[in-house]
Amino acid sequence: MNHPEFPLYTAMITPFLENGKVDYESFEYLLRKQEQAKNGTLILGSTGEGLNLSSHEKKEIIKFTRLLDLDVPLMVGIGGHDIEEQKALIQYADEVGVDSFLLVTPLYAKPGKEGQFEWFKTLLATTKTPCMLYNVPSRTGVKLHPEVPARLAEEFDHILGIKEASGSVEDFKAFRDHAPSLDLYSGDDGLTEAFINEGGVGLVSVASNVWPKHTHKMVALMLEGNVEALFSDWEESADALFSASNPVPTKVLAQHKGWIKNITVRLPLSVKDLTAEGEEALLEADRKINVWYNA
């Protein structure tokens, strides 16, 4: 079920052309970068602006990525508030053939423990494909209750683990203590070492979009406990990717590197939210991590 040889998944950006359509040429280039770095890929997550894509576009992106036949796992993000739409996308992805799904806590409605449980139960019953549960209260407006994954694990044996992105080590510990059988992945680049020290098995990363091999090396060193070899400015550098709403800074740096043609994002995001100081910090972070990696 799990892919232990892939402790790092990259939450892929979705590059767009100036006219707003998906830039599939740049997208393949980015996906191949992850394949070369031996990182699992997550498409249609929040970093991929999944909520700003139509159902048709999502299906086209899934199909395109699958046909590339990447030599790394393919995970598909499932998120929204229309349960039938989510089920339909899962069923389509299963027909095409994917390795796993990322199921996020329901958006906007702020459901309680029972609503969360029934939501995930419904989605998990739709597929036999491994699923990772995703806690990101800064985006959904509500925390995933730590008892919910534990209860779900008693009924379903295809839960891949939990992506924990609350920004809280204490919340991470709560999931670990309630559901010790489930693998826990950091969803916060800057907190990866702290989460791994508390039993985490890997990272679902934004930073690896622009630093694929670098982030892979960092996660491997963290899992080995090789603290001395770590990039000392990792947390500061990762934070530079969140100086404006994700994925704006990541797209700006990816264009600077020549990996995507345009920095186009979809409303309500705007590249104007990244200040000149923020852009300079990005370029400095890129310079420093490359010096570390090539040393």
- pLDDT for 51 beyond 60: yes
Q: Where are the domains of the chain?
A: 8-228
Contacts for 209 with CB less than 8 Å, ≥ 6 apart:
10, 11, 12, 13, 30, 47, 247, 250, 254
Q: Residues of the chain with pLDDT > 70: what percent?
A: 99
**Strand, coil or helix: 263:** coil
Confidence of residue 107 (pLDDT cuts 50, 70, 90): confident
CA distance 19 to 205: 28
Mean of pLDDT over the chain: 95
Model pLDDT, residue 5: 73
pLDDT at 56: 97
Q: Is the pLDDT of residue 3 over 50?
A: no
| Distance of alpha carbon 216 from alpha carbon 292, whole angstroms | 13
Q: Say whether 38 is catalytic.
A: no
Please report the pLDDT score of residue 199 as a whole number: 94
pLDDT at 41 > cutoff 80: yes
CA distance 54 to 234: 35
Comparing 137 with 285, which gets the higher pLDDT? 285
What pLDDT digit, counting tens, does each position of 183-228 carry? 999 999 999 999 999 999 999 999 999 999 999 999 999 999 999 9
- Is residue 180 scored above 50 in pLDDT? yes
Spot the catalytic one: 9, 33, 134, 143: 134
Spatial separation of the C-alpha atoms in residues 159 and 179, rounded to whole Å: 11
Is the pLDDT confidence value at 2 over 80?
no
Answer yes or no: pTM beyond 0.85. Answer: yes
Instruction: Give mean pLDDT, residues 56-69.
Output: 98
Catalytic residue, candidates 33, 143, 163, 251: 163
> In the predicted model, is pLDDT for residue 109 greater than 90?
no
> What's residue 137's pLDDT?
80
Burial string for 159-176 (b: 16+ CB within 10 Å, else e) reads bbbbbbbbeeeebbbbbb
The average pLDDT across 265-284 equals 96
CATH superfamily of the domain spanning 8-228? Aldolase class I (3.20.20.70)
Please report how the helices 83-96 and 113-124 are oriented relative to each other, as an axis angle in degrees rounded to 10: 30
Among the listed residues 129, 204, 126, 109, the one whose alpha carbon sits nearest the alpha carbon of residue 162: 204
Task: Quote the pLDDT of residue 1.
Answer: 38
Q: Encode pLDDT of 129-147 as tens digits.
A: 999 999 988 888 889 999 9
Q: pLDDT grade, residue 4 (50/70/90)? A: low
Is 163 assigned a catalytic role?
Answer: yes
Query: What pLDDT is attached to residue 168?
Result: 87
